[in-house]
Amino acid sequence: MEHSGHAVAARNLAVSRGARTVLSGIELVVQAGQVTGLLGPSGCGKSTLLRAIVGVQARVSGEITVLGQPAGSRGLRRSVAYATQAASVYDDLTVEQNLRYFERVLGAPSGDAQRVIALVGLQDHAAVRVDALSGGQRSRVSLAVALLGEPQLIVLDEPTVGLDPVLRAELWTLFRSLAVGGATLIVSSHVMDEALRCDRLLLMREGAILADTTPTELLTRTGTTDPEQAFLALIAAGSRTGPHIGRHGADSHPDPGVGAGTEAGT
Ligand SMILES: Nc1ncnc2c1ncn2[C@@H]1O[C@H](COP(=O)(O)OP(=O)(O)OP(=O)(O)O)[C@@H](O)[C@H]1O
């Protein structure tokens, strides 16, 4: 299933949590060097899918390959970064102390802490304890940890939640520059407007991929000018014709399956 240019490829992926099947029949590829948005309403399974990609989700079935290795392989430890919604940094340490600690733990080059603090725009808060930061600043500390060591694949679960529009825009500029520098980013969001910032979109609903598309294609196919409307149009089209999943090859972005896609599970 592996193709050059694919950072992630999943086939017939399913996940159970408790008594529920929360993901099923997931087929996707994520192109290397792009910003892929994973969008969908709260509870649709975005975090679960991201957890499967980084290899921390239990009870996963199907195949999932990341940078050419099975998800969660030891060999991926330094090349895949993951920032969860919950800030996973130490409250009683300053921003800089946290980053220096994780720099050592992750084996990142010395001085990388300063680089990532500047990347996320926290240089003026480097000496502030994390428990004195705002929610948005705190999540940027987690983001900075994820960027240590220049990982090839950066998986970010709702990194812009709770941020003001200016900061959100700055972070999307940062994501873009990381991709220009060669990294692959998968960024989840339940804010449909953020779709327009991505190269590629995976739209999710109720544990399945509703469409695999681009922002332009999404708007064109649905005849809308805003992604929120487009998402609703897709749901309406899906309920008329059954679920569709788009596919794309290693080098091209053919029919994404919006409105008239190929059947999944062939
Ligand atoms: N431990 C669990 N046991 C049973 N169901 C769970 C468990 N954890 C999550 N779920 C369910 O799995 C589904 C997917 O959750 P997930 O967190 O992946 O969604 P999400 O799209 O990331 O949502 P959000 O944007 O709110 O974080 C949800 O319906 C949730 O209720």
Domains of the chain, first to last: 1-79+180-266 (3.40.50.300)
Task: Indicate if ligand 1 lies below 6 Å from the C-beta of 181.
Answer: no
Task: Find the 16 Cα to ligand 1 centroid distance in Å.
Answer: 10
Task: Find the 17 Cα to ligand 1 centroid distance in Å.
Answer: 8
pLDDT of residue 103: 96
Q: What values do phi and psi take at 43, rounded to 5?
A: 85, 0
* pLDDT range class, residue 82, cuts 50, 70, 90: very high
Q: How confident is the model over 106-112, as a mean pLDDT? A: 94
First to last CA, the chain: 14
- ipTM entry: 0.93
The amino acid at 77: R
Q: Cite the beta strand spans of 91-239 per DSSP E.
A: 153-156, 184-189, 200-205, 208-213
Give pTM, 2 decimals: 0.87
* pLDDT range class, residue 112, cuts 50, 70, 90: very high
Task: Indicate if ligand 1 lies below 6 Å from the C-beta of 17.
Answer: yes
The amino acid at 15: V
DSSP character for 113? H
Closest atom of ligand 1 relative to the 50 alpha carbon: 18
Contact 190, 41 (CB under 8 A): yes
Task: Indicate if ligand 1 lies below 6 Å from the C-beta of 44.
Answer: yes
Q: Which two tokens stand for residue 43?
A: 């509870």
Q: Give bridge partners of residue 188 from the DSSP assignment.
A: 38
Task: Find the 162 Cα to ligand 1 centroid distance in Å.
Answer: 19
Q: In what order do the strands lie in the sheet with 153-156?
A: 80-83, 153-156, 184-189, 35-39, 200-205, 208-213
Closest atom of ligand 1 relative to the 51 alpha carbon: 18
Side-chain half-sphere exposure of 69, counting CA atoms within 13 A: 12
